[in-house]
Structure 1
């Protein structure tokens, strides 16, 4: 029912290291080549492994579920290469999301793991990008975050938008035209080179080497778009309603305000607790939100 470990191109130790650090195999090309050779699972195999993990806490079953979906993480991470962050780091964060999805996967729901995992992978990558991009203080509301993650895709060949295009994008994403123009200017200042600046740097891996054909309607891309729309739609409002008043206030004040968000110390003063306690409440609230959005 399960795949033999001998059929894998990497040893268990190499797999564990590669999942936590995609650069451990030498280059990102080597990692991508290796995970693309890992065997896929049939639905019957996936269900059996999921039950072993759920009922017996079988770590080998978890390993097989994770490794069979590593190529999905690579596919999803490619959509975020234009934000100037290292591909290996995006993959690493996506792998964290994949592991969370595997941990929560219920094989008896009749849903393939790929459908369930897309949300968790993308959510981890989103959070990583927002943490590391200098636009975080701009992309604070739901509409602005949607603009942040969609504008690069919607710009025709990366060209400067004219007035009609700005208005069209603004209507589609439900933001003001001036928000589109401002975000375009900010994003234009952090473009990633299409080709490697140096031919003698073995570790450089430019986007031209692996850009996917955006015109192809691959199943993973369709699922990604559906999961993102659900994440940014009514699901978030419903998930917020499931939090207690203090947790909801902290999340909204920190991430959903137009003025850049409150600091931990400001909220600590408001609630009469330490900044570290506010951070802990925030982390617990995000965990609950992710669980709510997964269903």
Structure 2
């Protein structure tokens, strides 16, 4: 019997049981039906044939996904990823090799679920190489207790999986490690210090860097540009009062130099500084 029904329930976390019940009601295909549908898909790109092949094997995905329930991830997400693997398997399935779709699809379903777990189980990836992946998905089941592995146990597991004992111990440490929130949690007490407090580098923070560059510009090129806007007497007074390597000239010393009162020198200085400030504001904007 071919699968002519459509899946009545969409896959969501809140209706998982209804979804599982629905896929278990889908009839399995006979080998003859499977070969016929796969042949239509291969030769004629028959979308309906592909749909029937997928629907009839959704229960396989559910069964496989349930075996990965110990990683703290939503069962619905695992099934969804497994379904992607099933669709990839259907697309590549060749019935002429004498293998049933069930056996062929298992590899693709597990591969997608494995990839999803490795990407989402922790913020930091715990397994990237082939040997690390093998350890990740077998170490838990091969441990006999909750205590740390002894050297002998690590050697035994390494020998069975064809990896080094130190790789076994490193993976055990990664599996037992915990993710730490970089920012304070709502449940933390007032005195709790989160990593963000001591990992942040205020001096290299982007806005701080922009501010430092702006200050450097104003103190260098900006200052010279502002001085260039002054007349020679005003510039000499400002430089003598504020930019001298010595302690700076007094108002009376400059008054004697120009033959005017100290009050007049002060007025020229104030006007010059205001003009420079306006120029610096324009440069900073």
User: 1:159 and 1:88 mapped to 2: Cα distance?
Assistant: 31
TM-score using structure 2 length? 0.57
Is the contact between residue 85 and residue 110 of structure 2 (CA under 8 Å) also seen in structure 1? yes
Q: Could you list the runs of 5+ residues in structure 2 that have no partner in the other structure?
A: 180-285
1:27 aligns with 2:15: yes
* Equivalent residue runs for 1:251-262 within 5 Å: none
Task: Specify the alignment match of 1:102 in structure 2.
Answer: 90
Task: Specify the alignment match of 1:77 in structure 2.
Answer: 65
Measured after TM superposition, the shift of residue 136 of structure 1 is 5.6
* Equivalent residue runs for 1:1-295 within 5 Å: 2-3=2-3, 5=4, 8=5, 11-12=6-7, 14=8, 18=10, 22-23=11-12, 26-134=14-122, 137-156=125-144, 158-189=146-177
Equivalent position SS for 2:67: helix
TM-superposition CA deviations, 1:41-69 (whole Å, max 9, x none): 11011111111222222222111110111
User: 2:83 and 2:44 mapped to 1: Cα distance?
Assistant: 23
Larger gyration radius, structure 1 or structure 2 = 2
User: 2:134 and 2:124 mapped to 1: Cα distance?
Assistant: 12
Measured after TM superposition, the shift of residue 135 of structure 1 is 7.5
User: 1:74 and 1:157 mapped to 2: Cα distance?
Assistant: 28
User: 1:157 and 1:36 mapped to 2: Cα distance?
Assistant: 35
RMSD of Structure 2 on Structure 1 (CA): 2.4
Is the contact between residue 39 and residue 68 of structure 1 (CA under 8 Å) also seen in structure 2? yes
User: 2:45 and 2:104 mapped to 1: Cα distance?
Assistant: 19
Is the contact between residue 126 and residue 174 of structure 2 (CA under 8 Å) also seen in structure 1? no
TM-score using structure 1 length? 0.55
Is the contact between residue 152 and residue 158 of structure 1 (CA under 8 Å) also seen in structure 2? no
With a CA cutoff of 8 Å and minimum separation of 6, indicate the structure with the bigger relative contact order.
Answer: 1
TM-superposition CA deviations, 1:117-163 (whole Å, max 9, x none): 11111111111112223386442222112111111121225554333
TM-superposition CA deviations, 1:90-141 (whole Å, max 9, x none): 1100100101111121222221111211111111111111222338644222
Q: Could you list the runs of 5+ residues in structure 1 that have no partner in the other structure?
A: 192-295
Q: 1:182 to 1:57 in 2, by over 3 A?
A: same
Equivalent position SS for 1:27: helix
User: 2:133 and 2:150 mapped to 1: Cα distance?
Assistant: 22
Measured after TM superposition, the shift of residue 85 of structure 1 is 1.4
Task: Specify the alignment match of 2:270 in structure 1.
Answer: none
Aligned residue-pair number: 179
User: 2:23 and 2:89 mapped to 1: Cα distance?
Assistant: 18
Q: 1:154 to 1:75 in 2, by over 3 A?
A: same
